[in-house]
Structure 1
Amino acid sequence: MLAVIVPAHNEEAHLDACLAALRLATACPELHGEPVALIVALDSCSDRSEAIALRHGAEVIAVQARNVGAARAAGAMRALSLGARWLAFTDADTLVAPDWLSTQLDLNCDAVCGTVAITDWGLHCEATRRHHDALYTDADGHRHIHGANLAVSARAYVDAGGFPPLVSSEDVALV
């Protein structure tokens, strides 16, 4: 079994689109029908995130930490308790490709650190975009780590000690 874990804190504006994309990825023919648990770790939510997650058939777990590392870790622990062999992590404001999971598995490795693409630069100034474009590499061999596109075998996750309860850079600490 595979598992996808999505931490969320008041993400009702983005969660519906995220989960719709994940549902496509979990139904990818290249997964050959392997079951996929979709787990949303709601961290101190006071909006409609839970209702949205349930409408998409996700399992919801509640965390009261206001800490993305703790939310990812809680989701991972639930996935491990269900017997997941592969843990894929993304963020509630992220859209994954339909072959996201199958592409990870095709790499036949213990961890996948994928890249991300920013489609809306509206909240950032032009200097930030230029800086990003100058330094970001979206190619094999990149050195980026993003919790929004990270996956690991269950064995490697456990061996590494899981996500530490950090409010940021928990993904870097795990890798």
Structure 2
Amino acid sequence: MSDHRADRPPIGALAVIVPAHDEALLLPRALDALHTAAGHPALHGVALSLVVAADLCRDDTAAIARTAGADVVEVSARNAGIARHAAIRHALRRLGTPESATWIATTDADSRVPPDWLAHQLAQAAHGWDAVVGTVDVTVWPASYPAGAQTRYTADYRRAASRSPHAHPHVHGANLGLSARAYRAVGGFPPLASGEDVALVARLDRARFRVLRTTACPVDTSARFAGRAPGGFSAHLRRLAGAHPPVLEPDPPLTSRRVT
């Protein structure tokens, strides 16, 4: 059960986690956004470890991540839960800070966090929340989506969130944060190829940690048909668009640059 005391030590360290499988195209913009978020004034004096889990990559994902200044953990699992967990273990070892003063923030390689994303999570931690479960926005859609699919998705997603903005039903690994203490207490991400984020939040709920579900700081994510996790967000979009089975096609065009 979570300790709700107001005298918890302030967060002094951040582990920022990005799992990636063949993400050379989209990873640079994700890392760009994370570097911007890490430069927020609210993070002054906070130690930060940015780790990319390069999971069974056949492209330049690992090299791009290292060039951008991220630590890289190479795994060969093709499993989002295993990749996230491996990156978190690496980051926590590298930081070496007490669990009670360490926060874990996870996003995805095809997503772009807003400039205040990390500051927002730290602010919620300071208010006593053990975890922050955020929402996503989709701003770039492939032309191959049927007419109306974007409208249906946006309407359905926002309708579900608007029923209770502070207790929305969505869970995304692209916009998730929690204390290292809570993460360890529930056993971390389970070794699932997809749905690892939902399973982790369910563990937190069962353990009665304080979980904030908020629409306040959404993350921009990809609407590509050919997602990396089976049964993940792209599969949901395909179902909404009536595309079965998965359609393999190029990712939507995005302007990105390599981080140096």
Q: TM-score range by the shorter chain?
A: over 0.9
Counterparts of 1:87 and 1:124, CA distance in 2: 34
| Matching of residues 90-105 of structure 1 within 5 Å | 90-105=107-122
Give the alignment's TM-score, normalised by structure 1.
Answer: 0.95
SS at structure 1 position matched to 2:73: strand
Tell me the residue number matched to 2:244.
Answer: none
Question: For each residue in 1:99-144, what CA deviation from the matched residue of structure 2 results, as whole angstroms up to 9, or x when unmatched?
Answer: 1001011112110111110011215333432332232135433121
Question: For each residue in 1:20-44, what CA deviation from the matched residue of structure 2 results, as whole angstroms up to 9, or x when unmatched?
Answer: 1101111111112311100000000
Moved more, 163-172 or 137-146: 137-146
Counterparts of 1:136 and 1:17, CA distance in 2: 25
Give yes or no for the alignment of 1:151 onto 2:177.
yes
Residue of structure 1 aligned with 2:70, choices 34, 58, 62: 58
Tell me the residue number matched to 1:17.
Answer: 29
Unaligned runs of 5+ in 1: none
Give yes or no for the alignment of 1:129 onto 2:150.
yes
Tell me the residue number matched to 1:67.
Answer: 79
CA RMSD of aligned residues (A): 1.4
Larger radius of gyration: 2
Structure 1 consecutive aligned stretches of length 4 or more whose deviation exceeds 6 Å = none
Counterparts of 2:111 and 2:149, CA distance in 1: 20
Identify the structure with the greater helix proportion: 1
Identity %: 51
Give yes or no for the alignment of 1:171 onto 2:171.
no
Amino acid at match of 1:53: A
Amino acid at match of 1:98: P
Contact 1:6/1:41 (8 A) holds in 2: yes
